[in-house]
A and B are shown apart, each in its own frame.
Chain A
Amino acid sequence: MMESDESVFLIGQGVKSPWYVGNTTRGLLEKFGSERVIDTPVSENAITGVAVGAAIAGMRPIIVHPRMDFMLYAFDPIINEAANWHYMCGGRSHVPVVIWGIINRGGEQAAQHSQALQAMFAHVPGLKVVMPSNPHDAKGLLISAVYDDNPVIYIDDRWLYNFEEKVPEDIYFTPIGKGKIVKEGKDVTIVATSYMTIEAMKATQKLSKEGIEVELIDLRSLKPIDKDLIFESVKKTGRLIIADAAWKTCGISAEIAALVVENVFEYLKAPIKRVTLPDIPAPASRVLERVYYPNESDIMQAVREVIENAL
């Protein structure tokens, strides 16, 4: 993208260091120079504002926050300014900025190096929120995000960085607002976000051996959300598990549950179940971490409960 479009640039802490962003930006600095690959001091509020202002002035910046936790410093430019801007100005100008937050947790990093804040941003009108779960979508969604004329919060998860996949070399767009059925099934729907899609996939394969056929949806886009895909699936299976590795209360899982009850209530055969983080800050000690982060066993347990527990 940076090659074909001079309005695209990257800004943020650690863009030139693999310690912050993994191998994502390898080679970019050498190719495009420090004018368009801008490593910054630790000033999340101002730097995010700079990206927002540059977008208002016609650029397509990507501002990276190597740890989502630090994005909290930038709530004003993201929410008060970027999200509201197009509306407040009666559509006279727009903000084509991508705000890329990396969930970077585990490894006993504890509460301030672990947070998954997608629900906070999905709550705000004027922001789009996407979370790819695989390399193909990671590229396609980033491209869609950059070329979307609205502010997009692009959230990926460091735990996904080990997965490798061959992706097409050219530019392609994965549509924002569309989820994906990873596997079709008739017994229960699992809607998963980001890393939980991987866990749900493992659960799905194991459950199949028990005779339970899961329909697995990778949500990909939290705002706008692919309601129709979810509704069609629930109509088919009558059972819903939502797997989202963020806190339970007021998480995106709550939003999805509300939407399903509002729209396709009569198709439900069992209560909806949510597999999420508990409402607890992330602990450091590995023993506590192990019970803190949800995984395939939690998903399988939830599935078994809704299969047995018919309404």
Chain B
Amino acid sequence: MVRIRLCEESLVKPILEGEIRCPCHLYTGEEAIATGVCAALSERDYIFGTHRSHGHYLAKGGGMRELIAEIYGKEKGCSRGRGGSMHITDPERGILGAAPIVAGTISLAVGSALASKIRKENRVAVSFFGDGAVGEGVLYESLNFAALRKLPIIFVCENNLYSTHMPIRDCRPESNIFKIGKPFCILSYRVDGNDVLRVYEVSRKAVDLCRKGQGPVFIECMTYRLRGHVGPDDNIQGTHTDIRPPEEVSKWRKRDPVKKFESFLIKNSILEKEDLEKISQEAKKEVEDALAFAKKSPYPKEGELARYVFKD
């Protein structure tokens, strides 16, 4: 979680200074979900993500150097500078891909679960999506088909209460998203998405069920993004485009998942303050190294614009 937090926060300054131009949908505030879910997965399990997938990528084992280089549009980025922040991937670590078409990767994730089932490989697939995606019809088609074929897939809805600027109550009459699993006979849970242990616990259960052939599972994780929908702040240049009430934002800041877990560890004497300092320092070093790597890396060659349209 610390690695994700420090990585995302390190992008703020370059974005504000125009050094990073690619739109970045920062994961700050939602770290517990990616961390908790991916901790329950093995490297060979599959994940598919969204426009806000830096956290998923790092939690699943993707390289931070390759992530930041990709955001900088460099050839050594994980997608060779062709995809940017919204199309990050590391197939060897099961990070099959991410895409910003809302709900666009959900059916793809179901397909990867189907592939695993046909090959009898016992892999689990996870589809990450937000509360906004719950407006898309393809989600329901995917839930239906996954349930019909009992596929090993976990649908993880990161409910941060806003679909860009639309509060959830303006998007649907029923705010309890986890209930959408019921009509499809899918086992559904809702958890505090800022409590990494709870997320981990329910994910372990879900993974276990999927491996036993009792999937799919639906998990709604309640959370809040502490940065803008895109970029560091929705209120750019004196605008007031972040319509979220300031009291609400500060309420959720007090529930910061990283701080929450840190106090849990201290309170229960699992770690000392020095240990947390050490972890933070290591993560800081990794982030600095990754940023330096990205900045020094070469850009793709202009003459290679047409490369990768087809696989030969």
Contact call A86/B308, Cβ cutoff below 8 A: yes
Q: Which residues of B contact A120 (CB under 8 A)?
A: none
Within 8 Å by CB of A49, from B97, B107, B149, lies: B107
Q: Bound complex: CA of A238 vs CA of B160, how far in Å?
A: 65
Main secondary structure of the interface of A (DSSP, over half): mixed
Query: Which of the 9-residue segments B135-143, B171-179, B185-193 touches chain A?
Result: B135-143
Q: Which residues of B contact A51 (CB under 8 A)?
A: 111
Q: Which residues of A contact B144 (CB under 8 A)?
A: 41, 43, 46
Contact call B99/A54, Cβ cutoff below 8 A: no
Contact call A53/B112, Cβ cutoff below 8 A: yes
Contact call B145/A46, Cβ cutoff below 8 A: yes
Given contacts A77-B107, A81-B99, A81-B104, contact A35 B118 (CB under 8 A): yes
Contact call A45/B137, Cβ cutoff below 8 A: yes
Contact call B82/A49, Cβ cutoff below 8 A: no
Query: Which of the 9-residue segments A55-63, A158-166, A188-196, A212-220 touches chain B?
Result: A55-63
Contact call B112/A86, Cβ cutoff below 8 A: no
Q: Which residues of B contact A86 (CB under 8 A)?
A: 308-311
The reply on B4 being an interface residue by CB < 8 A is: no
Interface centre among A56, A89, A128, by most chain B C-beta atoms within 10 angstroms, is: A89
Given contacts A50-B107, A52-B111, A56-B111, contact A126 B79 (CB under 8 A): no
Interface bracket on B: 35 or more
Cβ distance B272 to chain A, nearest Cβ, rounded Å? 41
Q: Which residues of B contact A85 (CB under 8 A)?
A: 97
Q: Which residues of A contact B112 (CB under 8 A)?
A: 53-54, 56-57
The reply on A36 being an interface residue by CB < 8 A is: yes
Within 8 Å by CB of A93, from B97, B109, B114, B310, lies: B97
Contact call B110/A46, Cβ cutoff below 8 A: yes
Within 8 Å by CB of A81, from B101, B118, B310, lies: B101
The reply on B298 being an interface residue by CB < 8 A is: no
Cβ distance A256 to chain B, nearest Cβ, rounded Å? 21
Q: Bound complex: CA of A93 vs CA of B93, how far in Å?
A: 12
* Cβ contacts B71-115/A at 8 Å (1 or 0 each): 000000111111100010111000011010100111111111011
Given contacts A50-B107, A81-B108, A88-B83, contact A125 B77 (CB under 8 A): no
Contact call A56/B96, Cβ cutoff below 8 A: yes
Within 8 Å by CB of B145, from A36, A43, A93, A94, lies: A43
* Cβ contacts A77-92/B at 8 Å (1 or 0 each): 1001100011111111
Contact call A88/B82, Cβ cutoff below 8 A: yes
The reply on B128 being an interface residue by CB < 8 A is: no
Contact call A90/B81, Cβ cutoff below 8 A: yes
The reply on B148 being an interface residue by CB < 8 A is: yes
The reply on B116 being an interface residue by CB < 8 A is: yes
| 20 further A-B pairs in the complex, CB-CB below 8 A; given A50-B110, A57-B96 | A6-B119, A41-B148, A43-B144, A45-B141, A46-B107, A49-B142, A52-B108, A52-B111, A53-B112, A57-B116, A59-B118, A80-B101, A87-B82, A90-B82, A91-B307, A91-B311, A92-B78, A92-B79, A92-B90, A93-B97
